Amino acid sequence: MEHITNNNTLVKGKFGFRSKLSTEAAYYSHISEILYALNNKHIIAGIFCEFTKVFDCINDVIMLSELRYYGITGTFYT
C-alpha cells in the first residue's frame, strides 16, 4: 500500500482499501456529484454492475505481470 500511495498509482475515485476513504466516503462523493449535476440542470445517467465474482475472471499471469509493472514484488507478489 505504501508503494501505491507514494507513486500515486490509484485513480482519485478508488475508495476501497485506502486510508480515510470508506464506503461512506464513496457514497457521499457519488451523491454530491449527482446533486451538483441536478442543481446545474445536467443530464444524469447511471450504469450499475455486479462485481462480486470479478476476481474469478482475472488471468493470474496477466495480473502478476501488472503487479510487477507497478513495482509490487516480494512477499505480496508470490
pLDDT digits (tens, 9 = 90+) for 47-66: 877 777 777 788 888 888 88
Does residue 62 belong to any structural domain of this protein? no
Does residue 26 belong to any structural domain of this protein? yes
Between 29 and 77, the higher pLDDT residue: 29
Average per-residue pLDDT for the chain? 80
CB 77 within 8 A of CB 13: no
Residue 12 Cα distances to 16, 26, 28, 73, angstroms? 11, 11, 14, 24
Does residue 61 belong to any structural domain of this protein? no
The range of the structural domain enclosing residue 43 comes to: 2-51
Does residue 66 belong to any structural domain of this protein? no
Number of domains in the chain: 1
Does residue 73 belong to any structural domain of this protein? no
- pTM greater than the 0.75 cutoff: no
CB 38 within 8 A of CB 44: yes
Does residue 14 belong to any structural domain of this protein? yes
**Cell matching residue 21:** 476513504
Does residue 64 belong to any structural domain of this protein? no
CB 15 within 8 A of CB 22: yes
* Mean per-residue pLDDT, 17-25: 76
Does residue 78 belong to any structural domain of this protein? no
